[in-house]
Every structure is written in structure tokens, then in C-alpha cells.
């Protein structure tokens, strides 16, 4: 069949062209003009580059995370004169959890010392280009527990405002604590929250909304 | 405590070699740290509205409180 002959022809032509290429290759090699190959960008060339870059990136990020963890470990150990037993860094959230015995002084009253350490850590991380995210530190779940406690106060006081149909004035709180209350009660359609007075005496007032 | 101050400051400035800290005791309980940095690093240790200097002082006060002392950090300019 003519198809077969044309196929054979095509194959022999292909083989010929391969042989031709190989000859050319050898010629190029023998003439020491291999250099031209360096500029020739093939798919392999790209793949190799990309692989190397990715590899480099992960190593680099790992190193950055380690530097952040080391900084925190060292600063907290020096402040507390105690040992940090565990540092967990959630890179995607920019959240660092620190655990160890006797770290209370690194938290301080109302988390004040922890806030200062956090501020310095962020300066360090930004300076050394270690993180694009704003980093937060929590020591022995202080913030987590505080969040739960404030959330409970918010729910309890909102209940009281609704039940007694009168506004509830809370004690002064720092901004991040007020934010928790606003956030928690924003879902509640029966109350409204507002802040009053100037820092550091700014406090939240919970108003009951009249029922229909 | 001096080690803590030195570590933090050296990581924040451009010229860590020019960071100088002297430590003086005042009475039994107060330690005064005098911090000297390169002129162009002054802004880095003071920060906007003094926020960096304030944070450094808070951390140093925490460290000294733990050791039953109080501390003062003076930035020499």
C-alpha cells in the first residue's frame, strides 16, 4: 500500500536527519564551538532553573523562620532568666506561640511586656527582611485565654443589657480588647456597642436595642 | 541584662560594631544603662514618636523586675 511506502520513506528520512544532526553535533564539538549551546535555551534548561529556584526559596524561607524563632527564644530567655521549651511558628498566619516554665514576666501586666517584645520582633523581622507579615506573639496561650475571657464578658454583659433593658458601661480597656467585644457583639442584633472617652480611659457601652 | 540590651540593639542598627553600652549601679536596686550608637542609627533605636526606645525600656524593665531590680536606659546623643 502506498501508505506503507510513504511511512517507510518518512522513517528513513527521519533517521537520515538524525544522523545528519549527530554529524553536525560532532562537527561542532570537534571545532570547539560548543559555546553556542550555552545560549541555546531549551525546555530542560528552564526546568532546571525553576527547580533550583524553588529549592532555593524553601531553604531560604526555612532559614528565615529559624531566625525569627531564634530571636524570640533568645529575647524571652534573657528577659525571664528562664528557658523557652517550645516555639511554634505558623508562617501563614504570622503567629508565634511560645511555651516554657516561668515566662510570666515576659507577658507582663495586661500583656504589656509581650507587646513590647512583639514590637521589637517586628522591627527585627522587617529590617532583616524575614517576614512580609505582621508577626504576633502569644506566650503560654495568654492571648487565646484572654480572648475567651473577654468574649464571655461580652456575651454576659449583652445578656444583662437585654434583660434589664438598660445600657451597660464596661471598665476601660485597651483597643484590642475593645475590638474583641465589638466583634463578638456585632453578630448580636439585640444590642449595639459604642466606645466612649479618650485613651487610656476608653470604655465600651453596650446598649440594648428595643424589641418590636 | 546588658546582654539582652546589646542583643536587641545590635539587631536593629546598621552599625552593630559601634554599639556601646555601659552599666552603672545606682544604690542597691537601680541599674543605669547608657547606650551609645552610631549617629545615623539614633533614629533606629528611638523610632517614630520614641516607640522603639519605649519598647526597649519596657523589655529592660521586665528583665530587671525579674531580677528584683529596676533599670533605666539612657540613649546618649
Q: Give the nearest partner residue to B66 out of A79, A115, A124, using CB atoms.
A: A79
B62–A119 CB contact, under 8 Å: no
B7–A105 CB contact, under 8 Å: no
Domain chopping of chain A, boundaries? 3-140, 144-208
Of A114, A119, A127, A142, which to mutate for an interface test with B (greatest number of B Cβ within 10 Å)? A119
CATH topology classification for A3-140:
GMP Synthetase; Chain A, domain 3 (3.30.300)
Q: What is the pTM of this model?
A: 0.72
Q: How far apart are CA A135 and CA A198, in angstroms?
A: 28
Percent pLDDT > 70 in chain A is 81
A25-29, A113-117, A149-153, A185-189: which range is least confident on average? A25-29
* Statement: residue B34 has pLDDT above 80: yes
Of A79, A81, A130, which to mutate for an interface test with B (greatest number of B Cβ within 10 Å)? A79
pLDDT mean across residues, chain A: 85
* Statement: residue B15 has pLDDT above 90: yes
Specify the CATH number for B2-76; select among 3.30.1600.10, 1.20.1440.60, 3.30.70.1060, 3.30.300.20: 3.30.300.20
Set of chain A residues whose Cβ sits within 8 Å of the Cβ of B52: 119-120, 123
pLDDT mean across residues, chain B: 96
Task: Name the CA dihedral angle for B35, B29, B2, A139, rounded to a multiple of 10 degrees.
Answer: -110
Task: Tell me how far apart the 2 most distant CA atoms of chain B are, in Å.
Answer: 35
The reply to whether A144-208 shares the fold of A3-140 is: no
* Statement: residue A103 has pLDDT above 80: yes
Q: Give the nearest partner residue to B62 out of A113, A119, A123, using CB atoms.
A: A113
Q: How far apart are CA A131 and CA A60, in angstroms?
A: 11
Give residue-wise pLDDT tens across range A144-179: 999 999 999 999 999 999 999 999 999 998 888 999
H helices of chain A, where?
Answer: 2-30, 35-39, 43-80, 104-107, 112-127, 142-164, 175-186
Specify the CATH number for A144-208; select among 3.40.640.10, 3.30.450.20, 3.30.1370.50, 3.90.1150.10: 3.30.1370.50
- Kindly state the average pLDDT of the residues A35-51: 48
- Contact, B47 vs B9, CB < 8 A? no
- Kindly state the average pLDDT of the residues A184-212: 91
Amino acid at each position: 500500500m502506498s501508505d506503507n511506502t510513504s511511512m517507510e520513506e518518512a522513517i528513513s528520512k527521519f533517521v537520515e536527519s538524525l544522523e545528519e544532526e549527530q554529524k553536525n553535533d560532532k562537527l561542532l564539538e570537534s571545532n570547539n564551538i560548543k559555546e553556542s549551546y550555552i545560549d541555546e535555551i531549551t525546555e530542560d534548561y528552564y526546568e532546571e532553573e525553576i527547580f533550583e529556584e524553588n529549592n532555593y526559596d524553601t531553604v531560604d524561607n526555612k532559614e528565615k523562620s529559624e531566625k525569627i524563632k531564634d530571636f524570640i527564644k533568645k529575647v524571652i530567655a534573657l528577659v525571664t532568666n528562664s528557658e523557652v521549651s517550645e516555639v511554634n511558628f505558623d508562617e501563614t498566619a504570622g503567629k508565634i506561640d511560645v511555651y516554657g516554665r516561668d515566662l510570666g514576666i515576659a507577658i507582663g501586666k495586661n500583656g504589656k511586656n509581650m507587646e513590647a517584645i512583639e514590637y521589637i520582633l517586628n522591627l527585627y523581622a522587617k529590617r532583616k527582611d524575614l517576614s512580609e507579615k505582621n508577626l504576633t506573639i502569644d506566650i503560654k496561650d495568654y492571648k487565646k485565654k484572654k480572648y475567651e475571657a473577654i468574649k464571655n464578658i461580652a456575651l454576659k454583659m449583652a445578656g444583662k443589657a437585654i434583660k434589664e433593658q438598660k445600657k451597660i458601661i464596661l471598665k476601660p480597656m485597651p483597643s484590642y480588647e475593645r475590638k474583641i467585644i465589638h466583634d463578638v457583639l456585632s453578630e448580636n442584633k439585640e444590642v449595639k456597642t459604642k466606645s466612649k472617652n479618650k485613651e487610656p480611659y476608653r470604655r465600651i457601652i453596650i446598649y440594648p436595642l428595643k424589641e418590636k | 541584662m546588658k546582654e539582652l540590651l546589646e542583643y536587641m540593639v545590635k539587631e536593629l542598627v546598621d552599625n552593630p560594631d559601634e554599639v556601646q553600652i555601659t552599666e552603672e549601679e545606682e544604690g542597691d536596686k537601680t541599674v543605669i544603662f547608657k547606650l551609645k550608637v552610631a549617629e545615623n542609627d539614633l533614629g533606629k533605636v528611638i523610632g517614630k514618636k520614641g516607640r522603639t526606645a519605649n519598647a526597649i525600656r519596657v523589655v529592660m524593665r521586665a528583665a530587671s523586675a525579674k531580677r528584683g531590680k529596676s533599670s533605666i536606659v539612657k540613649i546618649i546623643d
